[in-house]
Amino acid sequence: MANQLKQFHLVGILFVVLSLTNAVKAAETKTYHLVLENHVFFPSEVTIPANQKVKLIITNKDASPEEFDSFDLNRERVVFAGKQAKIFIGPLPPGKYEFFGEFHPESARGIVIVKEVTQ
Amino acid sequence: MKYLLLFINLLACMIARADGMVVDKVYHPYVTANEREFEWRLMTSQTDNSNLLTQRFGYGHAVLENVALEIYAIGTRDENNNFELSAFEVESRWMLTQQGEFWADWGLVLEFEKQKAQDNFEASAGILFEKEFGRTSLTMNLFAIREWGESLDSEWESEFRLQYRYRYLPEIQPSIEIYAGEDFIGIGPGFMGVYRIDRQEQIKWDAGFITEVAHSGKNHTFRFAIEYEF
């Protein structure tokens, strides 16, 4: 029992340390805007820098909700009708990452292009 | 965040035993608004002396943008090999941080279970953690469990679950899983996947085959869950 207590204290301490890392303020995240209108994302192509976290702000101008979905980006988020939603993506290596609107997958489609930034 | 830290500390100070089947679902700290689902979950555990079976049927619904509720009917096979409805459970999942906003993602799950035949109860609270590393994700759950009732000793228990998953394809996401609690440490392969039927209608599956490694003797657990989301 003493050993188990010790093990679970260690696991608990691990969780505390991990949660403390969340308190560390990240550098300012770049923001990119997308508009969803008539069930189409505009722009449908967004280029972002490699290895940096960025914020996508999606404004849904349609009268029905949409769900931003991307297995490539590992994100899923509902954007309510007439509202905005924030989606944090990255840091990502260079490449192309597809996304789509789950409720209108035939029209609401887009791609995030991640490129190395040369100084 | 202060309350979260306090809760985790309390969780860590609780006693480290669990009476039931330690191997179960590894929870992810996410809730999607408007999500609704039916779920069937099966856990079967074979040791040298016993062959336990638990099944759950559940219905879940996101009641807020970051909170989902699920109710379960739980069936178990008893010592006479009869399978019967044995308990009911209510569960709430809370997405505490938005995915990707911080260094890691956090959630909370609260469960309350009552046995059908007797006034025996179980309440549990779990902290859910997930961190992305490229195309892989590390998920950890730490649970504090309280049992009490007419034929149960009142006691605190705890459980730990870990899953390290490779997001290979939506349908095939292999993983390694580790479980700890009640003198049990188990490890084994798992996989999960999702198949989109149409729009928000999708089938999700999740399975694992866990072998106990802390003691000699046979102790294998197979877990399987399938969800219909709509």
pLDDT of residue B202: 95
Residue B190 domain flag = no
DSSP state letters, B60-98: EEEEETTEEEEEEEEEEE-TTS-EEEEEEEEEEEEE-S-
Residue B217 domain flag = no
CA B136 and chain centroid, separation: 20
Q: Which domain, by its residues, includes B136? A: 2-162
Q: What's the mean pLDDT when you consider all of chain B?
A: 90
From the options 2.40.40.20, 2.60.40.420, 1.10.3720.10, 1.10.260.40, give the CATH code of A30-115: 2.60.40.420
CA B126 and chain centroid, separation: 9
* Coil, strand or helix at A4: helix
pLDDT of residue B223: 96
Cα(B192)–Cα(B172) distance, integer angstroms: 6
| Winning range, highest mean pLDDT, from A3-7, B45-49, B71-75 | B71-75
Q: Do A24 and B103 touch (CB under 8 A)?
A: yes
Residue B218 domain flag = no
pLDDT of residue B52: 87
Q: Considering only CB atoms, which chain A residues are within 8 Å of B127?
A: 15
pLDDT of residue B7: 47
Cα(A65)–Cα(A80) distance, integer angstroms: 4
Residue B68 domain flag = yes
Cα(B120)–Cα(B73) distance, integer angstroms: 15
Residue B187 domain flag = no
For chain A, say whether B214 makes contact (Cβ under 8 Å): no
| Closest Cβ opposite residue B104 in set A5, A16, A22 | A22
Could you read off the pLDDT of B138-176 as tens digits, one per residue?
999 999 999 999 988 899 999 999 999 999 999 999 999
Residue B10 domain flag = yes
Q: Do B134 and A93 touch (CB under 8 A)?
A: yes
Residues in A 47-106 with any Cβ partner in B closer than 8 A: 53, 65, 67, 71, 74-78, 80, 86-90, 93, 102-103, 105
pLDDT of residue B8: 46
Residue of A15, A20, A84 to mutate, testing the B interface (most B Cβ within 10 Å of its Cβ):
A15
pLDDT of residue B192: 96
Amino acid at B64: L
pLDDT of residue B20: 61
Report whether B173 contacts B11 (CB < 8 A). no
pLDDT of residue A23: 62
The average pLDDT across A76-87 equals 96
Work out the minimum CA distance from B41 to partner chain A, whole angstroms. 24
Residue B194 domain flag = no
In this predicted model, which residue has the larger pLDDT, A23 or B29? B29
Least-confidence region, from B53-57, B125-129, B217-221: B217-221
Number of domains in chain B: 1
Residue A7: phi, psi to the nearest 5?
-60, -45
Share of chain B above pLDDT 90, in %: 76
Confidence of residue A26 (pLDDT cuts 50, 70, 90): low
Angle between helices B2-12 and A2-23 (to 10 degrees): 170
Q: Which residues of B56-77 are buried (b: 16+ CB within 10 A; e: fewer)?
A: bebebebeeebebebebebbbb
Residue B77 domain flag = yes
pLDDT of residue A12: 73
**Prediction ipTM score:** 0.84
Work out the minimum CA distance from A21 to partner chain B, whole angstroms. 7
> What count of other Cβ atoms lies within 10 Å of the Cβ of residue B164?
16
Q: Considering only CB atoms, which chain A residues are within 8 Å of B98?
A: 86, 88
CA distances from B113 to A23, B75, B122, B213 (A): 34, 12, 5, 29
Least-confidence region, from A2-11, A34-43, A95-104: A2-11
Q: Indicate whether B17 pLDDT > 60.
A: no
The average pLDDT across B204-208 equals 97
